[in-house]
Structure 1
Amino acid sequence: MRRPYYIPFNAHPDDFPPLEQALDDPDGLLAVGGSLNINRIICAYLQGIFPWYNDDQPILWWAPSQRLVLFPEVLKISRSLAKTIRKQKFSITMDTHFEDVIEACAAPRDNQNGTWITSEMQAAYYKLHQHRLAHSVEVWYDGRLVAGLYGVALGKVFFGESMFTRMTDASKVAFVHLVKQLQIWGYELIDCQVYTKHLESLGAVEIPRIEFGNLLDSLCKQQGKIGKWEIENVF
């Protein structure tokens, strides 16, 4: 029986096996162990790998056989969502409340006892945010944070990590705003990791792991927007 590659805690940040060594069951499990230091996380993303595990597990690194991605130019906005956006009942900010967003994303969902966004994960991504690599989008209603998302930007790729919502359509508004903003800044790919109907409805599609890796090889070498993200007029 094949097992995932073991990464010692103090291994070189680039110590990952070839993606084709990922398991078929569970789909995409590639490696176990290592640490969540900034360099390792960056090296993982550049190769099409992401961490995903629970509190009672070691760090698990994944590269699914099919990757859900969105090409910004094919974003789909339904009539009802477009109507919600036109009403402008939400206000949007970026990179102003990163900690609040990741904490909200980490809160247990309905019918879930725990969360994969562990305190260790939160601390690691906050460090990435401090280094201007991880970013957040915040959605507000009557002064309350009602939705948001966060992810990592490398080159011309945004690697989405998680989103949350407390009002109908608020997370979709966050995502649409992000995509429109990334278009303005010249980003060419948004990594959505694994399939959800929610993201498919917005235009996301699955592509093979090898195709995703080839896109990263090209797009992550190109210069994307760096520094603090500031809101622009996208609608």
Structure 2
Amino acid sequence: MQTSYSTFLLAGYTVHRITFDPATFTEADLLWLPHYQQLSQAGRKRKADHLAGRIAAFHALNRKNIPGIGSSGEPLWPAGISGSISHSGMQAVAICRENGLVGIDCEAIIVESEAREIQDGVIDAQEAQLLVASHLPFDLAFTLAFSAKESLFKALFPQVQAWMGFDSARVTALAADNLTLTLTRPLPPFAQNQVFTLHWCRIDSMVITLICDA
């Protein structure tokens, strides 16, 4: 599969980025993954996305390790390392650090008509008002809310070990390069009303959201 590798900084953290052409993917490419047999039943798109994400993670881990697949589909990072992977379209990103919370998500900006159709499953009326008050275009603001919740849930999953719906956290602030999410219910060991700050950036028609916390 044809790929290109680059990095960029988000809130001072290095994000590892793979741009890939899924049309060039072949089954033989998967043999690079130690866990390739676990993907035998996956579709072609899933395989290409997964491979691109693991290549990004490989670079994030100083080219020393490839995260496996956990029982819930989560990446398995080396001991003492927290990390996160995301992919969308022809982009994959990964980041890792020593312990602490880390979650990253990349999303193509959702067109406003689609955002309006699905918004009730992602944000509540209070959040909708906040997005409008941010003065960001609705498609961008909504995509940021969607992506930020994905990033947060990825960061919390290693400790929560449970599925978290979009109503588990609420956007309570949205600024030019960061936003705040507040838990609407307890997610042990995290308490209801616990607040998390995430950072975001836009690259062309994509947004990337990131949480890196103690």
TM (norm. structure 2) is 0.28
Structure with the larger RCO, 1 or 2 (CA within 8 Å, 6+ apart): 1
Larger strand percent: 2
